[in-house]
């Protein structure tokens, strides 16, 4: 098991945060530094110090991985469009490909519904159009004929036993919902190219943590993240990051889910490599 990243130096939080914010905003003098001057200048300082200097500067997930997690969470929440735009721009600024961002937003449909995905894609379109350096052609995949088999294979790789249990538990009450999870969720969405399974699970952990309404699914997908090569430290980092975007209760409840999942894996004896 990787250790949780060590504590960053308490000094220089503002400078460290400002450097990260410059990278994300793609400008030497980010607007965020001044935008609250007339109403809450301290919150601008606290944003730089805490959101960027404490959290986004932490080791573990890279800045592009962190931006994709933030984009997924804000898209799922659906109530913070200015920040979603800022972080889609931010993802592009730190090197995410437009296609990765689009795949994350398609993935959002599974966990927060189609309206959340569609509204976020509207924001992404505006972000892409505002950048002459972006030359984006969407990937298309044709409709598959083996959706069920492909989905079953992917579900097994991601969720293993826990995923099988979810499907089995639906058999007596809503079997078609189980079939849709396999066919649509895993056969159509998870199996798409352009975003690897580890990135999909990082986005899923971010979304389920931020939404705060999906505790059982958060546990299934913490297992999923670890099953596809993610680490416990990564999981903790993404959950902690959600304190910035959805508040401390969301992060604390996410940690509670992680503690339970880690204990389950320790009991099974399979956690040694995480």
Of 160 and 184, which has the nearer Cβ to a copy of itself?
A: 184
By C-alpha distance, which of 62, 113, 56, 107 is closest to 86? 56
Verify binding: residue 188, a copy of itself, rule CB under 8 A.
Answer: yes
Verify binding: residue 174, a copy of itself, rule CB under 8 A.
Answer: yes
Verify binding: residue 59, a copy of itself, rule CB under 8 A.
Answer: no
Distances (CA, A) of 179 to 175, 183, 186, 204, 232: 6, 6, 10, 20, 30
Helix axes 13-25, 81-93, angle to 10 degrees: 90
Verify binding: residue 163, a copy of itself, rule CB under 8 A.
Answer: no
Q: Taking a C-beta distance cutoff of 8 angstroms, is the pair 213, 112 a contact?
A: no
Verify binding: residue 177, a copy of itself, rule CB under 8 A.
Answer: yes
Q: Which of 213, 268, 272, 273 binds a copy of itself (CB under 8 A)?
A: 213
- Residue 141: CB minimum distance to a copy of itself, A: 6
By C-alpha distance, which of 186, 181, 211, 210 is closest to 200? 186
Q: Which of 17, 30, 49, 56 binds a copy of itself (CB under 8 A)?
A: 49
CA 121 to mean position of chain CA atoms: 16
Instruction: Scan residues 87-126 and list those touching a copy of itself (CB under 8 A).
Output: 102, 105-106, 109-119, 121-122, 124-125
Verify binding: residue 271, a copy of itself, rule CB under 8 A.
Answer: no
Q: Which of 9, 28, 31, 42 binds a copy of itself (CB under 8 A)?
A: 42
Burial per residue of 203-239, b for 16 or more beta-carbon CB atoms within 10 angstroms, e otherwise: bbbbbbbbbbebeebbbbbbbbbbbbebbbbbbbbbb
Verify binding: residue 78, a copy of itself, rule CB under 8 A.
Answer: yes
In the numeric block, which tokens belong to residue 188? Answer: 């159509």
Verify binding: residue 236, a copy of itself, rule CB under 8 A.
Answer: yes
Verify binding: residue 272, a copy of itself, rule CB under 8 A.
Answer: no
- Residue 198: CB minimum distance to a copy of itself, A: 20
Q: Is 40 helix (H, G, I), strand (E, B) or coil?
A: coil
Verify binding: residue 22, a copy of itself, rule CB under 8 A.
Answer: no
By C-alpha distance, which of 244, 243, 231, 239 is closest to 273? 231
Verify binding: residue 251, a copy of itself, rule CB under 8 A.
Answer: yes
Alpha carbon dihedral 169, 197, 69, 74, in 10-degree steps, equals -50
Q: Which of 72, 77, 182, 222 binds a copy of itself (CB under 8 A)?
A: 77
Using the rule CB under 8 A, give the single segment among 21-29, 31-39, 150-158, 222-230 that binds a copy of itself.
31-39
Verify binding: residue 211, a copy of itself, rule CB under 8 A.
Answer: yes
Of 23 and 75, which has the nearer Cβ to a copy of itself?
A: 75
| Site residue total, a copy of itself (CB under 8 A) | 99
């Amino acid at each position: 098991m990787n250790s949780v990243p060590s504590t960053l130096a308490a000094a220089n939080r503002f400078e460290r945060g400002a450097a990260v914010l410059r990278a994300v905003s793609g400008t030497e003098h980010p607007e965020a530094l001044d935008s609250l001057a007339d109403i809450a200048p301290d919150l601008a300082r606290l944003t730089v110090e805490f959101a960027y200097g404490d959290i986004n500067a932490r080791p573990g997930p890279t800045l592009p991985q962190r931006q994709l997690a933030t984009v997924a969470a804000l898209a799922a929440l659906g109530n913070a469009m200015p920040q979603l735009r800022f972080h889609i721009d931010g993802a592009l600024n730190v090197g995410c490909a437009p296609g990765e961002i689009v795949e994350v937003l398609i993935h959002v449909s599974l966990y927060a519904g189609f309206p959340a995905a569609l509204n976020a894609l509207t924001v992404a379109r505006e972000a892409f159009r505002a950048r002459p350096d972006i030359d984006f052609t969407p990937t298309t995949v044709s409709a598959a004929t083996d959706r069920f088999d492909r989905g079953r294979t992917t579900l097994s790789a991601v969720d293993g036993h826990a995923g099988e249990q979810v499907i089995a538990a639906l058999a007596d009450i809503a079997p078609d919902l189980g079939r849709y999870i396999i066919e649509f969720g895993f056969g159509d969405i998870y199996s798409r190219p352009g975003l690897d399974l580890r990135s999909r699970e990082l986005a899923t952990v971010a979304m389920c943590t931020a939404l705060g309404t999906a505790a059982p699914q958060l546990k299934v997908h913490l297992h999923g993240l670890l099953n596809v090569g993610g680490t416990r430290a990564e999981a903790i980092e993404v959950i902690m990051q959600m304190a910035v975007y959805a508040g401390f209760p969301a992060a604390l409840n996410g940690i509670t889910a992680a503690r339970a999942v880690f204990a389950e894996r320790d009991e099974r004896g399979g956690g040694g490599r995480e």
